[in-house]
Structure 1
Amino acid sequence: MQAYVYKSLRKPDTYVYLRKRDDFAVMPDPVRLPLGELAFVLEVALTPERRLARADAGVVRSNLATHGFHLQFPPTMLDPLVDG
């Protein structure tokens, strides 16, 4: 599964993974708007073997398949898709 990663220019260390490049419409406005402008960072293949530095690749794949996006927050913040 391919993922497209964007960083929030408003919220430090906050990233959005999208299933389709530039498909911000999959994110509800209450989630998207507080992030401000999003800048493309990289395209990554999320295989079962892929390890990510600050996220569980399985959770990211699951959120992409279910919601079309995944939010990665700074380590000090809870992830509402996992911890909520």
Structure 2
Amino acid sequence: MSTVKVSAYKSPKVEELYLFLPTDSLPSDLPDELLVFFGDPQHVIDFDLTPERKLPRADAAEVLASLAEKGYYIQTPPAEKEKITDISLPDLSFDRAPD
């Protein structure tokens, strides 16, 4: 698969929810139901996408396949579990004195 020029948009309604579209497509071309859920897409960046390109939270080949099949790709926020793995909790264990 060759290079696809992609536009990335963020959702104003859901933090860390992103939409990828080919640059020759407009968000207004998307189904109304999707736009109601996503909100008014806010343009973030345009970039060239190849199957080899590293993306932070998505597989480039999956994104390209979705763009070819549906005309868009939705990147959902990380799971809550992923968000809390970076939190360091203090050691709350107690040293018990021997009886």
Task: With the length of structure 2 as denominator, give the TM-score of the two structures.
Answer: 0.70
Aligned to 1:64: 67
Q: Which structure would you say has the larger Rg? A: 2
Structure with more contact order per residue of length (Cα contacts < 8 Å, sep ≥ 6): 1
**Cα distance in structure 2, aligned partners of 1:69 and 1:35:** 13
Aligned to 1:49: 52
Q: After TM superposition, where is structure 1 displaced by more than 4 Å over at least 4 residues in a row?
A: none
* Unmatched 5+ stretches in structure 1: 78-84
* Unmatched 5+ stretches in structure 2: 81-99
* Identity across the alignment (%): 34
Task: With the length of structure 1 as denominator, give the TM-score of the two structures.
Answer: 0.81
The number of aligned residues is 77
Q: Root-mean-square deviation (CA), in Å?
A: 1.6
- What is the letter of the counterpart of residue 17 of structure 1? F
Q: Which has the higher strand share?
A: 1
Secondary structure at the counterpart of residue 68 of structure 1:
coil
